[in-house]
């Protein structure tokens, strides 16, 4: 979840590293630091707090410092203070590294290293890696240890990595080799960008795209060694490998604020265009079918499947729950949605004809990736629904569908959620077409799906109205979000958004479950958000609204435009366009995103960098 950037080239490294860290700050912002090679020494500058704090203590860039590493942290081991900030030096002062991931056996390694005379300054697991490399590099008793220094350094890195249990994305430098940079990956993303006479290593393409669009994606248990003469890639077991050059598929403009105050607001407003990109070329109205090229030869297995398991975490889990309902409704296949963080530690039953779908915006979510690997080991066909091209889940699954919504920088996911639901809807429609849906049903579904972007445009015009609702309610510390059917997961997502960025306690529920306990929470003036659009359970949810009103709660109701019947039940009414019931979540979630955004801003919070959260959860 931390952000790593490293540079080797001819330009001063400091400003390049700082700019890269700013583009990665959504991955963590507890502390930050730089490690720069200056002659035969490594200069470390780090601080707690945001990158802006680090900038204040930096001096002018030294033109001789053309190799360096940078890190922005989301704390796991040890508090977010300056001592625990990365980069970490080894006990000899010669080796420095930045790390994204968790080392599970760090305690055992630390005890052993202390017995060998190594000293530690921090509480982090990362310092163990630095000291282990430093110890192996400084003690050359191993029979297979190379005699020349450069190869000995690589040898020490490889042997250290083979001792680690856990995950890592690493950028490593050594004072003895001021023109060398090493990167390594296992379970945490790491990309090498190839520019003209310069190289950038980063956790995310956002930190690379300003310098080059040519990249190499490292796979697990691989490392890259870079010098001004070039680079070479190998496994950590010293097997040379050839990596294919890839193209970054977005521009620098895609990760700029473009006049918006926050990335989250920008991404909320990007949803019509983003969803248009997601659907573009995939809805074939002429031949009355959905085209998902990434599934290719697996359509037959998907169509014949008897069970589909959807694995995801957080917002993606809410999208998966809607997908479960869609697949059962449209394709009549047994589907279930599971938390990847639980699935990976269970002994799940994977029978023949089981398909496992993994949903992750980043394609790097550690729990979801582990669930995929377990499913593959048990013989399931796996499908990845991800946004980031070349991500680990995209490369690990048998088949996949990209969201194609462009970079999502805001920690609170918005446009990725609507696209995930859209992909699941397309999957459900095509599976249904191949199994039992009539041509007229398929045509109706495809046409309705194609109209969703314009209906979201209509919802976006309500932002000022929703802001007034937030002004009247955001001082309350406990909220309920309630929905039924396809809008039940929307209630969960609306509650999560409010929690994530405004720090208001909110609970999402199926509306019918409120009377089975949570109704005891309702007090006078407590906000209760209902998604009450026209659907098969419309009359039932009006009854649930009445139950809240009878107990003094204030109702915020998302309903269809022109539904005068519901006005008497709403203290605050948000009117959205009518949509086919199965596809309503893509429209009804948008006002809840806007509501959470305005509540957070009114309460004075940093919307894009909510406390304790980071964008891509690449650790357990």
Kindly list the domain boundaries of the chain, sorted by start residue: 3-101+169-248, 257-450, 457-605
Q: What confidence category does residue 223 fall into, taking pLDDT thresholds of 50, 70 and 90?
A: very high
Q: What confidence category does residue 122 fall into, taking pLDDT thresholds of 50, 70 and 90?
A: very high
Predicted pLDDT at 257? 86
Average pLDDT over residues 146-171: 87
Q: What confidence category does residue 276 fall into, taking pLDDT thresholds of 50, 70 and 90?
A: very high
Q: What confidence category does residue 24 fall into, taking pLDDT thresholds of 50, 70 and 90?
A: confident
Of the candidate ranges 245-249, 288-292, 574-578, the one whose mean pLDDT is the lowest: 245-249
Instruction: Please give the Cα distance from 423 to 418 (Å, whole number).
Output: 9
Per CATH, the number for 3-101+169-248 is 3.60.20.10
For tokens 């956790």, name the residue: 203
Instruction: Please give the Cα distance from 193 to 200 (Å, whole number).
Output: 5
Segment holding 113, helix H or strand E: helix 106-115
CA dist 97 → 69, 107, 130, 156, 353 (Å): 7, 19, 7, 14, 45
- Domain 257-450, architecture per CATH: 3-Layer(aba) Sandwich (3.40)
Average pLDDT over residues 63-84: 86
Identical fold at 257-450 and 457-605? Answer: yes
| Selection from 446, 457, 485 nearest residue 585 by Cα | 485
Q: What is the 3-state secondary structure (H, E, C) of 115-155?
A: HCCCCCCCCCCHHHHHHHHHHHHHCCCCCCCCCCHHHHHHH
The 10s digit of each residue's pLDDT in 531-553 is 999 988 888 889 889 888 888 89
- List the catalytic residue out of 2, 118, 278, 474: 2
Residue 595 has pLDDT above 80, yes or no: yes
Instruction: Please give the Cα distance from 261 to 257 (Å, whole number).
Output: 7
- List the catalytic residue out of 22, 94, 455, 615: 615
| Selection from 517, 487, 478 nearest residue 589 by Cα | 487
β-bridge partners, 216: 192
What is the model's pTM? 0.84
Taken in order 550, 553, 559, 562, the sign of the CA dihedral is positive
Strands 554-560 and 572-576: parallel
Q: Is 186 a catalytic residue?
A: no
**Residue 92: exposure state from Cβ atoms within 10 A (0-12, 13-18, ≥19):** middle
Of the candidate ranges 22-36, 177-191, 244-258, the one whose mean pLDDT is the lowest: 244-258
Q: What confidence category does residue 148 fall into, taking pLDDT thresholds of 50, 70 and 90?
A: low
Q: What confidence category does residue 106 fall into, taking pLDDT thresholds of 50, 70 and 90?
A: very high
Instruction: Please give the Cα distance from 543 to 549 (Å, whole number).
Output: 10
Instruction: Please give the Cα distance from 414 to 91 (Å, whole number).
Output: 44
Predicted pLDDT at 144? 64
Predicted pLDDT at 592? 98
Instruction: Please give the Cα distance from 205 to 202 (Å, whole number).
Output: 7
The 10s digit of each residue's pLDDT in 380-406 is 999 999 998 888 899 899 999 999 999
Predicted pLDDT at 609? 84
The 10s digit of each residue's pLDDT in 252-269 is 677 788 899 999 999 999
Of the candidate ranges 27-31, 510-514, 614-618, the one whose mean pLDDT is the lowest: 614-618
Average pLDDT over residues 160-180: 95
Predicted pLDDT at 565? 92
> What share of the chain in percent tops pLDDT 90?
74
Residue 142 has pLDDT above 60, yes or no: no
Q: What confidence category does residue 618 fall into, taking pLDDT thresholds of 50, 70 and 90?
A: low
Q: How far apart are the first and last CA of the chain?
A: 10
Q: What confidence category does residue 615 fall into, taking pLDDT thresholds of 50, 70 and 90?
A: low
Q: Is 2 a catalytic residue?
A: yes
CATH topology of domain 457-605: Rossmann fold (3.40.50)
CA dist 383 → 225, 311, 331 (Å): 33, 10, 17
| Selection from 90, 93, 99, 128 nearest residue 111 by Cα | 128
3-state secondary structure of 286: coil
């Amino acid at each position: 979840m931390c952000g790593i950037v490293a540079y080797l080239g001819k330009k001063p490294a400091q400003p390049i590293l700082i700019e890269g860290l700013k583009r990665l700050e959504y991955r963590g912002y507890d502390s930050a630091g730089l490690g720069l090679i200056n002659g035969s020494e490594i200069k470390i500058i780090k601080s707690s707090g945001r990158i802006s704090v680090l900038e204040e203590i930096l001096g002018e860039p030294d033109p001789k410092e053309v190799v360096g590493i940078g890190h922005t942290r989301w704390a796991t081991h040890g508090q977010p203070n300056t001592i625990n900030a990365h980069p970490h030096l080894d006990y000899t002062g010669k080796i420095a590294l930045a790390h994204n991931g968790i080392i599970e056996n760090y305690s055992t390694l630390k005890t052993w290293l202390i017995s060998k005379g190594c000293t530690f300054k921090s509480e982090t697991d990362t310092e163990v890696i630095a000291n282990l490399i430093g110890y192996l590099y400084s003690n050359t008793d191993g029979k297979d240890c190379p005699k020349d220094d450069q190869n000995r350094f690589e040898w020490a890195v490889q042997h250290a990595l083979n001792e680690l249990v856990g995950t890592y994305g690493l950028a490593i430098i050594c004072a003895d080799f001021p023109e060398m940079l090493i990167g390594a990956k296992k379970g945490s993303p790491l990309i090498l960008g190839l520019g003209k006479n310069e190289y950038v290593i980063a956790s995310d393409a956002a930190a690379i795209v300003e310098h080059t669009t040519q990249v190499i994606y490292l796979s697990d248990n691989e490392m890259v060694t870079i010098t001004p003469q070039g680079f070479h890639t190998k496994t950590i077991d010293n097997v040379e490998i050839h990596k294919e050059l890839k193209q970054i598929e977005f521009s620098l403009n895609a990760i700029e604020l473009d006049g918006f105050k926050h990335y989250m607001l920008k991404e909320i407003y990007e949803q019509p265009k983003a969803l248009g990109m997601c659907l573009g070329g995939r809805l074939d109205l002429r031949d009355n079918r959905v085209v998902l090229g990434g599934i290719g030869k697996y359509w037959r297995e998907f169509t014949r499947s008897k069970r589909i398991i959807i694995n995801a975490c957080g917002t993606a889990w809410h999208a998966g729950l809607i997908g479960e309902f869609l697949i059962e409704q449209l394709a009549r296949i047994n589907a279930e949605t599971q938390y990847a963080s639980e699935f990976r530690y269970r002994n799940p039953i994977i029978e023949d004809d089981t398909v496992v779908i993994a949903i992750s915006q980043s394609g790097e979510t550690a729990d979801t990736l582990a669930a995929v690997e377990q499913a593959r080991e048990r013989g399931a066909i796996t499908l990845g629904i991800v946004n980031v091209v070349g991500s680990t889940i995209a490369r690990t699954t048998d088949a996949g569908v990209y969201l194609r919504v462009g970079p999502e920088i805001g920690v609170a996911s918005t446009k990725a959620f609507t696209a995930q639901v859209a992909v699941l809807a397309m999957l459900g429609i095509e599976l249904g077409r191949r199994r039992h849906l009539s041509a007229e049903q398929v045509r109706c579904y495809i046409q309705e799906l194609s109209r969703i972007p314009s209906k979201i445009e209509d919802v976006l015009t309500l932002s000022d109205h929703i802001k007034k609702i937030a002004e009247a309610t955001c001082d309350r510390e406990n909220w309920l979000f309630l929905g039924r059917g396809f809008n039940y997961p929307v209630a969960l997502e609306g509650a999560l958004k409010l929690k994530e960025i405004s720090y208001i306690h909110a609970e999402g529920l199926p509306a019918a479950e409120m009377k089975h306990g949570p109704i005891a929470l309702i007090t006078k003036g407590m906000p209760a958000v209902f998604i009450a659009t026209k659907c098969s359970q419309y009359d039932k949810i009006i009854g649930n609204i009445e139950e809240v009103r009878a107990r003094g709660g204030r109702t915020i109701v998302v309903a269809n435009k022109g539904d005068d019947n519901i006005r008497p039940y709403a203290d605050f009414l948000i009117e959205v366009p009518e949509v086919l019931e199965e596809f309503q979540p893509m429209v009804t979630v948008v006002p809840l995103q806007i509501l959470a955004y305005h509540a957070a801003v009114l309460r004075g919070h940093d919307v894009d960098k909510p406390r304790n959260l980071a964008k891509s959860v690449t650790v357990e």
